[in-house]
């Protein structure tokens, strides 16, 4: 795994990135445009086996010409790491072993809350909000990372 600064050095100006929100039951996926300006919710993957996740990610990466992966890192509000952060790090290491792209962890504190609040401002009903929360959280994570990369 590399830092976001190292990640930036490895990226060309025009390439698409994928953002992941690794939940315990579902994985939110988002993709940004080639100019890395806008992150868009893409899909939600139900979490089953590691090999199925790797296979689905490889398909998404190939079909969308993805050149890097940003994974949300669930750091505690006080900045410490807990069980969730360790679980994400373990999954990220597994992804890194099987997919040969630059991978970076991005602080995802409040991403789910932010995605939920944003969708409520867009006047989307609660059941639709909850159905799309994982991919919206992934877009929130990826947007934060690409905003940082662009500054």
Q: What is the pLDDT along the chain (151 residues), one digit of tens a residue?
A: 888 888 888 776 688 999 999 988 999 999 999 999 999 999 999 988 999 999 999 999 999 999 999 999 988 778 787 888 899 999 999 999 999 999 999 988 655 545 455 545 555 555 555 567 889 889 999 999 999 888 8
**What are the boundaries of each domain within the chain?**
4-150
- Contacts of residue 7, defined as CB under 8 A and 6 or more positions apart, other chains included, come to 68, 70, 102, 104, 149
Q: What is the pLDDT of residue 94?
A: 95
Q: How far apart are CA 46 and CA 53, in angstroms?
A: 9
SS3 state of residue 137:
helix
Q: If you search the block for the tokens 């989307």, which residue do you land on?
A: 124
Q: If you search the block for the tokens 């809350």, which residue do you land on?
A: 113
Q: What is the pLDDT of residue 128?
A: 53
- The alpha helices in the chain, defined as continuous H runs, are 4-10, 50-64, 83-98, 111-121, 126-150
Q: What is the pLDDT of residue 118?
A: 52
Facing residues of 18 across strands? 31, 69
For domain 4-150, give the CATH superfamily: YqgF/RNase H-like domain (3.30.420.140)
Q: What is the pLDDT of residue 24?
A: 85
């Amino acid at each position: 795994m590399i830092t976001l600064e190292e990640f930036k050095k490895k990226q060309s100006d025009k390439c698409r990135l994928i953002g992941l929100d690794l939940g315990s039951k579902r994985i939110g996926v988002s993709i940004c445009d080639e100019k890395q300006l806008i992150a868009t919710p893409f899909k939600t993957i139900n979490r089953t086996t590691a090999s199925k996740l790797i296979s689905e990610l490889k398909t998404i990466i190939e079909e969308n010409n993805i050149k890097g992966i940003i994974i949300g890192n669930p750091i505690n509000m006080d900045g410490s790491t807990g069980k969730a952060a360790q679980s994400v790090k373990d999954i990220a290491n597994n992804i890194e072993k099987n997919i040969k792209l630059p991978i970076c962890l991005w602080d995802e504190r409040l991403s789910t809350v932010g995605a939920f609040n944003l969708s409520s401002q867009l006047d989307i009903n609660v059941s639709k909000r909850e159905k799309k929360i994982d991919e919206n959280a992934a877009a929130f994570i990826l947007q934060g990372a690409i905003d940082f990369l662009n500054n």
